[in-house]
């Protein structure tokens, strides 16, 4: 592909990303893969260059751009190489017209940027939310190996590595042997908020594909019971093979029907030593990995997340034994989903209390701890530990 053809391909993909973001379609990563699945002529350098154009343009735009071309023109104003590709060649984009409109630069839609600032995020911390994320892996103590890849030790004293960007982790012997798992440093840190010991009965209520579940299993030294639940069949189905590769043998996966979670967990009511609630959320803390997610969120969708979080927290609370722990996590930097959610829970659940956290990173936010990319070099998270009345 010529440089002009690469830019034209990026324009077409961003058009698809815009449509998907406004209609609930596939994520940008998926759309990039689908685009090249039908264009076998594109080599690895072409795919890499197009992908970089796509994500550079997405990161620059605040509100949803009117078109992929408008987004790429915004990038062209900052990148002479991209600007030169608007040459009108056979497979390239048409020349830039006089006064042709550009997408609006910024961090996010205006209402959302204001909500982040109102949640106490400093103005100078906002640009880091859409920086490119590093590639972090957790080292699994259950599968010790000499074949660990080369990388920098993770910050904050974590047992993991930061690998070079673009590393194909799935091809590494250490990954195939279960010795490493891809997991952001922030995700590793907030998982430490739940106290566990060998022999405990632990429930991961929103386990997804099981990243935090596997870390809990390793901390429990494969002793006890680890019940991993989710309402998303496709994501939960990824957990058993991951657990087998990681050597975590105490996991029981349980698919829950939405709206019937408590009924389907009747055997676990009041029996868990600890419950982890990594609740569905806006994902404002993960824009480094999914920058187009800024365009998917509106006040109505945010309100639905807040309502779901309250419901999941209440379900989790019913599972905790007297004196046990309930850890609430969201990969969000909005107080409505973090500190505000904990305040509401405490008001509705007399006798519960917050237990202070001693984590290797993050700062106090409300009655919990918040991590953000600018200060901690991690994805953004809020976490709090709640203790059931005895």
29-59 residue pLDDT tens? 999 999 999 888 888 899 999 999 999 999 9
- pLDDT score of 345: 98
Number of alpha helices (DSSP H) and beta strands (DSSP E) in the chain: 15, 13
pLDDT for 136 beyond 90:
yes
Task: State the pLDDT at residue 176.
Answer: 94
Q: Please report the pLDDT score of residue 43 as a whole number.
A: 87
What are residue 263's phi and psi, to 5 degrees? -60, -40
pLDDT-based confidence at 280, cuts 50/70/90? Answer: very high
Percent of the chain surpassing pLDDT 70: 100
**Span 174-180, mean pLDDT?**
95
Each residue of 303-351: pLDDT tens digit?
999 999 999 999 999 999 999 999 999 999 999 999 999 999 999 999 9
Model pLDDT for residues 115-131, shown as the tens digit of each residue: 999 999 999 999 999 99
Strand partners, 180: 139
Nearest to 203 by CA among 271, 255, 140: 271
d(CA 361, CA 190): 9
User: pLDDT digit string (tens) for 192-221?
Assistant: 999 999 999 999 999 999 999 999 999 999
Q: List alpha helices for 250-380, DSSP H.
A: 261-264, 299-319, 339-348, 373-376
Longest dimension (CA), the chain: 73
Active site residues: 331
Q: Could you tell me which of 276, 287, 385 has the C-alpha nearest to residue 333?
A: 287
Mean pLDDT taken over the chain? 95
pLDDT value, residue 16 = 97
CA dihedral 179, 183, 188, 191 (to 10 degrees): -100
pLDDT tops 90 at residue 144: no
Q: What is the mean pLDDT of residues 218-241?
A: 96
């Amino acid at each position: 592909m010529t440089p002009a053809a690469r830019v034209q391909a990026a324009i077409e993909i961003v058009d698809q990303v815009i449509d998907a973001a406004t209609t609930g379609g596939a994520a940008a990563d998926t759309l990039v893969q689908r685009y090249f699945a039908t264009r076998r002529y594109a080599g690895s350098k072409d795919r890499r260059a197009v992908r970089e154009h796509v994500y550079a343009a997405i990161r620059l735009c605040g509100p949803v751009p009117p078109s992929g071309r408008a987004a790429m023109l915004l990038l062209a104003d900052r990148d002479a190489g991209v600007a030169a590709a608007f040459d009108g060649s056979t497979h390239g984009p048409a020349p830039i017209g006089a006064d042709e409109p550009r997408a609006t630069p910024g961090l996010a839609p205006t209402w959302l940027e204001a909500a982040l600032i109102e949640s106490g995020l400093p103005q100078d911390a906002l640009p880091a939310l859409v920086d490119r994320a590093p590639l972090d892996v957790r080292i699994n103590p259950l599968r010790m190996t000499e074949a660990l890849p080369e990388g920098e030790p993770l910050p904050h004293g974590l047992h993991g590595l930061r690998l070079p960007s673009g590393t194909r982790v799935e091809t590494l012997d250490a990954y195939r042997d279960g010795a490493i798992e891809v997991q952001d440093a922030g995700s590793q840190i907030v998982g430490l908020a739940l106290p566990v010991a060998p022999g405990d009965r632990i429930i991961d209520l929103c386990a997804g594909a099981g990243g935090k579940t596997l870390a809990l299993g390793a901390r429990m030294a494969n002793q006890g019971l680890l019940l991993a639940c989710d309402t998303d069949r496709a994501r939960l189905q990824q957990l058993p093979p991951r657990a087998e590769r990681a050597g975590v043998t105490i996991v029981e996966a349980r698919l829950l029907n939405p709206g019937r979670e408590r009924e389907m967990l009747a055997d676990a009511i009041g029996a868990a030593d600890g419950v982890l609630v990594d609740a569905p959320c806006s994902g404002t803390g993960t824009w480094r990995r999914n920058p187009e997610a800024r365009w998917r969120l509106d006040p109505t969708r945010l309100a639905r997340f807040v309502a779901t979080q309250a419901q999941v927290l209440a379900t989790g609370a019913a599972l905790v034994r007297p004196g046990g722990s309930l850890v609430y996590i969201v990969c969000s930097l909005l107080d409505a989903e973090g500190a505000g959610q904990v305040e509401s829970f405490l008001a509705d659940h007399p006798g519960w209390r917050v237990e202070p956290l001693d984590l290797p990173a993050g700062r106090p936010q409300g009655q919990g701890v918040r991590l953000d990319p600018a200060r901690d070099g991690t994805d953004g998270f809020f976490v709090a530990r709640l203790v059931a009345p005895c």
